[in-house]
A = this chain, B = another copy of it.
Amino acid sequence: MESMMIWMPIAMAVLGLIYMWIKQSWVMKQDAGDGKMKEISDYIYEGALAFLSAEYKLLAIFVVIVSVALAAVSFIVPTTHLLIVVAFIFGAIFSAFAGNIGMKIATKTNVRTTQAAKTSLPNALKVSFGGGTVMGLGVAGLAVLGLTAFFIAFFHFFMGGVWTNTMDMTIVLETLAGFSLGAESIALFARVGGGIYTKAADVGADLVGKVEAGIPEDDPRNPATIADNVGDNVGDVAGMGADLFGSYVATVLAAMVLGNYVIKDMGGSIADAFGGIGPILLPMAIAGAGIIISIIGTMLVKIKDNSAKESQVMGALNKGNWTSIILVALSCYGLVTWMLPETMKMEFFGEGLQEISSLRVFGATIVGLIVGAVISSVTEYYTGLGKKPILKIVQQSSTGAGTNIIAGLATGMISTFPSILLFAGAIWASYAFAGFYGVALAASAMMATTAMQLAIDAFGPISDNAGGIAEMSEQEPIVRERTDILDSVGNTTAATGKGFAIASAALTSLALFAAYVTFTGIDGINIFKAPVLAMLFVGGMVPVVFSALAMNAVGKAAMEMVQEVRRQFRDIPGIMEGTGKPEYDKCVAISTKASLKEMMLPGLLTIGFPLIIAFAPLAFGMDTLAIAEMLGGYMAGVTVSGVLWAIFQNNAGGAWDNAKKSFEAGVEIDGKMTYKGSEAHKAAVTGDTVGDPFKDTSGPSMNILIKLTCLIGLVIAPILGGHTNDEAVIIENEVRVEIKQTSGDLAMATISTSKTVDGTTTTEVQEIQGTIEEIEKKAKENGKIVSVNVQKNKKVEVVVESKQ
């Protein structure tokens, strides 16, 4: 059984996809309602499809360009294999496909939820959550399927399906990184483009419809209302799906890369029942188990009481969520103890090799699960209705929009305090447990419940849409009441889902960062070196500028929308009386065009900066290892700043949103009950306008920015150094040649030959003086030279493999 373990994740993924298909058929079989409902639903479906196909056309061009570039690199740099292009293309296709599944099911489920809400609340939940489940399993299933299939393929192609050595496996994983790069690239555009789309439509619809014309939200007379509903699907559903698809793949990949180095630390090979690659298979196995666990979790989400309130719906979701978290913890215990050697040797930076129990890896996975759970609570505290921060913003709304804005900004900023302390603690703890492999497995464990998280996440916008359809098709109030309950719960889960997405992005980036450093073979990122410090600054700046570009894009696109809506109100006769028909498609077209155009610049910034940092100094002949360190500084800057700005923007946006919503039920300000329509409420609406792009465009984009930055670093790592590069430095356990001093052609070196017997290492040191050639020759007597690195004025190392 153990030897078949490599196929297990694929089997689980296929099971997940089959369950998805069954669930999808069930949802599609539900009643789609009467004529008007269907008509509106069709509009939304077509709008979403129009956006997707326009986006995919554009992305196809992007994929072709990058593929050509990657292919060129693979011809120039002999160590990069052309197969990375294939992996990249499939990563992009799988990601797009996952987004497509999500979007389709979401736009089909919304109207069915409205129809189900006519009968009962439990039914409405069943249908909307069913749609979410399809989305969640689609994303997770495709991620695990794609990654595992390519891993097996490359494992056979490069290594013949059996373990040879760390270096060969590094090539396998490096090529596999192309899959992740493809997925994350698509995610960038899906998140940013979707984010711009949804907010341009939302803001545009509100500014003219609600404010100028005084008609309610989701009113069919508003030409932008369909675009607004399409936006919910392309932004919140497809964007979030692509985001988590990318995180999922990247996390597992990073953990595999680090697992490979664990094997290296243990002497270059281990004897286990899993073909000697247990530590590499483990993250995939956890991901596979997570799919089945998520299915179980989604089955638990149901209510029976037709008169249930938000708390009961929330309780049902929590039940499913907590069950899956506990099951993941149990399965991590089982898999870790089964798949890893009982005691492992692990290199702790600066502390040398240490012998640790594999149970410590389990400890790291628990850290990850705790982070996932706690970050959700933190997010809920800062953005939840009725919580202290929200009440404070409500109070500050009474003195106008200015104080409301200040309070919201401050809330978002303060919320970084517990969140960052949590992340910092998690980095520290999971590293202390099991090094950077521990950090990566913490992320993997957290991400194992991705399917469940997405199901919970996606049901929100579906219910939101269902409510919109109820409104537009003029259903009875009870229908809207029921969808409103679901929508309200959806708002909370949207906020906590964003917390989960940030946490996953943060841990994934750290794992990728660790993989990058280990990969390039540099001995760390020393920010005391001026160029590295300079790049830390530049990296810190990029998320800030990226956010500004995204926000400006929303502003520009919303302005275009405003003008179009105004034009239709003016030019179409009878539109306000409901006799003239608004041209929904024009508004959809504006949002589509604007979002695709505006996502270019942030995309360019994300992809361009790391490439410039890597290749500009290379063109000037700078030392590749120095460049690798600079790029590492840049990655760290982007990650730290990106995580901060993600938390800040998401939570500020969420807080403003719920501060505004608080007025719907009425709030007490200075002893007086205050409601919608009051001056304070208007101030809160202004805050929400600012918060919209924060929480739905720039904030969530930060996740992709930091992940993609680290991934690009990982993909260009072979060019900058690393195992296969002639100029690289690799420290093998066995033999090390250190050139201490060079003066002209002569060098002085020490050759240390270490032998490890039963965990005790003995070292023999030889001193030698002579030309590099002579030193090399002498070193060769002890083993085969793998790589040589000689540079002026530097401590240089010649590394050789020891003779057996």
Does residue A436 face the partner (Cβ distance < 8 Å to B)? yes
**Could you tell me if A559 and B767 are in contact, using CB atoms closer than 8 angstroms?**
no
Provide the bound-state CA to CA distance between A417 and B549, in Å.
11
- A693: which B residues are within 8 A, CB to CB? 406
A530-B640 in contact given A417-B545, A420-B538 (Cβ < 8 Å): no
Give which listed residue, B406, B417, B688, contacts A555 with CB less than 8 A: B406
Tell me the nearest residue of chain B to A640, going by C-beta: B540
Provide the bound-state CA to CA distance between A633 and B636, in Å.
11
Interface residues of A in 524-564 (CB under 8 A from B): 524-531, 533-538, 540-541, 544-545, 547-549, 551-552, 554-555, 558-559, 562
A349-B529 in contact given A396-B555, A537-B420, A537-B427 (Cβ < 8 Å): yes
A794-B545 in contact given A401-B401, A405-B686, A537-B643 (Cβ < 8 Å): no
Does residue A351 face the partner (Cβ distance < 8 Å to B)? yes
Provide the bound-state CA to CA distance between A627 and B319, in Å.
43
Give which listed residue, B439, B545, B740, B761, contacts A416 with CB less than 8 A: B545
Provide the bound-state CA to CA distance between A547 and B416, in Å.
12
Stretch at the interface among A145-153, A407-415, A453-461, A771-779: A407-415
Does residue A637 face the partner (Cβ distance < 8 Å to B)? yes
**Could you tell me if B414 and A528 are in contact, using CB atoms closer than 8 angstroms?**
no
Provide the bound-state CA to CA distance between A535 and B640, in Å.
10
Provide the bound-state CA to CA distance between A562 and B402, in Å.
14
Interface residues of A in 679-712 (CB under 8 A from B): 685-690, 693
**Could you tell me if A402 and B690 are in contact, using CB atoms closer than 8 angstroms?**
yes
**Could you tell me if B432 and A530 are in contact, using CB atoms closer than 8 angstroms?**
yes
Does residue A93 face the partner (Cβ distance < 8 Å to B)? no
- A688: which B residues are within 8 A, CB to CB? 402
Interface residues of A in 329-384 (CB under 8 A from B): 349-352, 354
Give which listed residue, B410, B427, B545, contacts A533 with CB less than 8 A: B427
Tell me the nearest residue of chain B to A413, going by C-beta: B548
Does residue A517 face the partner (Cβ distance < 8 Å to B)? yes
Minimum CB–CB distance from A443 to chain B (whole Å) comes to 14
Does residue A201 face the partner (Cβ distance < 8 Å to B)? no
Give which listed residue, B405, B431, B741, contacts A761 with CB less than 8 A: B741
**Could you tell me if A420 and B351 are in contact, using CB atoms closer than 8 angstroms?**
no
Does residue A675 face the partner (Cβ distance < 8 Å to B)? no
Does residue A421 face the partner (Cβ distance < 8 Å to B)? yes
- A548: which B residues are within 8 A, CB to CB? 409-411, 413-414
Give which listed residue, B352, B425, B528, contacts A349 with CB less than 8 A: B528
Minimum CB–CB distance from A441 to chain B (whole Å) comes to 14
Does residue A53 face the partner (Cβ distance < 8 Å to B)? no
**Could you tell me if B643 and A640 are in contact, using CB atoms closer than 8 angstroms?**
no
A413-441 toward B: CB 8 Å interface, digit per residue (1/0)? 11011001101110110011000100100
- A207: which B residues are within 8 A, CB to CB? 399-400
- A632: which B residues are within 8 A, CB to CB? 527-528
- A538: which B residues are within 8 A, CB to CB? 420-421, 424
Give which listed residue, B351, B396, B524, contacts A528 with CB less than 8 A: B524
**Could you tell me if A409 and B526 are in contact, using CB atoms closer than 8 angstroms?**
no
Minimum CB–CB distance from A140 to chain B (whole Å) comes to 28
**Could you tell me if A529 and B350 are in contact, using CB atoms closer than 8 angstroms?**
yes
Does residue A483 face the partner (Cβ distance < 8 Å to B)? no
Interface residues of A in 614-630 (CB under 8 A from B): 626
Chain A interface size band reads: 35 or more
Give which listed residue, B399, B514, B795, contacts A562 with CB less than 8 A: B399
Tell me the nearest residue of chain B to A637, going by C-beta: B640
**Could you tell me if A740 and B760 are in contact, using CB atoms closer than 8 angstroms?**
no
**Could you tell me if A690 and B534 are in contact, using CB atoms closer than 8 angstroms?**
no
Residue picked from A432, A524, A533, A686, most chain B C-beta under 10 Å: A533
**Could you tell me if A410 and B750 are in contact, using CB atoms closer than 8 angstroms?**
no
**Could you tell me if B551 and A410 are in contact, using CB atoms closer than 8 angstroms?**
yes
**Could you tell me if A423 and B545 are in contact, using CB atoms closer than 8 angstroms?**
no
Residue picked from A211, A399, A510, A530, most chain B C-beta under 10 Å: A530
- A686: which B residues are within 8 A, CB to CB? 400-402, 405, 686
**Could you tell me if A545 and B424 are in contact, using CB atoms closer than 8 angstroms?**
no
**Could you tell me if B529 and A526 are in contact, using CB atoms closer than 8 angstroms?**
no
Minimum CB–CB distance from A49 to chain B (whole Å) comes to 30
Does residue A449 face the partner (Cβ distance < 8 Å to B)? no
Provide the bound-state CA to CA distance between A351 and B742, in Å.
13
- A41: which B residues are within 8 A, CB to CB? none
Give which listed residue, B351, B409, B741, contacts A793 with CB less than 8 A: B351
Provide the bound-state CA to CA distance between A648 and B541, in Å.
10
**Could you tell me if A644 and B643 are in contact, using CB atoms closer than 8 angstroms?**
no
Give which listed residue, B536, B644, B765, contacts A767 with CB less than 8 A: B765
Provide the bound-state CA to CA distance between A350 and B207, in Å.
58
Give which listed residue, B436, B528, B545, contacts A413 with CB less than 8 A: B545
Provide the bound-state CA to CA distance between A191 and B756, in Å.
60
Minimum CB–CB distance from A769 to chain B (whole Å) comes to 9
Minimum CB–CB distance from A91 to chain B (whole Å) comes to 27
**Could you tell me if A406 and B439 are in contact, using CB atoms closer than 8 angstroms?**
no
Does residue A592 face the partner (Cβ distance < 8 Å to B)? no
Interface residues of A in 654-689 (CB under 8 A from B): 685-689
- A562: which B residues are within 8 A, CB to CB? 399
Does residue A403 face the partner (Cβ distance < 8 Å to B)? yes
**Could you tell me if B743 and A403 are in contact, using CB atoms closer than 8 angstroms?**
no
Does residue A298 face the partner (Cβ distance < 8 Å to B)? no
Minimum CB–CB distance from A574 to chain B (whole Å) comes to 27
- A421: which B residues are within 8 A, CB to CB? 538, 541
Minimum CB–CB distance from A348 to chain B (whole Å) comes to 8
Tell me the nearest residue of chain B to A760, going by C-beta: B743
Give which listed residue, B399, B414, B529, B748, contacts A765 with CB less than 8 A: B748
Does residue A763 face the partner (Cβ distance < 8 Å to B)? yes
Does residue A752 face the partner (Cβ distance < 8 Å to B)? yes
Provide the bound-state CA to CA distance between A380 and B525, in Å.
36
**Could you tell me if B689 and A402 are in contact, using CB atoms closer than 8 angstroms?**
yes
Give which listed residue, B399, B641, B687, B741, contacts A644 with CB less than 8 A: B641
**Could you tell me if B413 and A544 are in contact, using CB atoms closer than 8 angstroms?**
yes
**Could you tell me if A794 and B552 are in contact, using CB atoms closer than 8 angstroms?**
no
Minimum CB–CB distance from A571 to chain B (whole Å) comes to 18
Provide the bound-state CA to CA distance between A439 and B529, in Å.
12
Provide the bound-state CA to CA distance between A524 and B409, in Å.
36
- A403: which B residues are within 8 A, CB to CB? 555, 558, 689
A87-105 toward B: CB 8 Å interface, digit per residue (1/0)? 0000000000000000000
Tell me the nearest residue of chain B to A414, going by C-beta: B548
**Could you tell me if B352 and A535 are in contact, using CB atoms closer than 8 angstroms?**
no
Residue picked from A410, A510, A760, most chain B C-beta under 10 Å: A410
**Could you tell me if A424 and B794 are in contact, using CB atoms closer than 8 angstroms?**
no
- Some 30 contacts from A to B, beta carbons below 8 A apart, are A349-B526, A350-B529, A350-B626, A350-B794, A351-B793, A351-B794, A352-B793, A399-B559, A401-B405, A402-B686, A403-B558, A405-B686, A406-B690, A407-B555, A417-B541, A417-B545, A420-B541, A424-B534, A424-B537, A424-B538, A427-B534, A432-B530, A436-B530, A514-B528, A528-B632, A533-B636, A536-B640, A686-B686, A741-B762, A748-B765
Give 4 A-B pairs besides A405-B689, A686-B686 with Cβ atoms closer than 8 angstroms. Answer: A402-B685, A405-B690, A414-B552, A420-B541
Going nearest first, the 7 A-B pairs with the smallest beta carbon separation are A402-B689, A431-B530, A413-B548, A524-B526, A420-B541, A424-B534, A524-B528
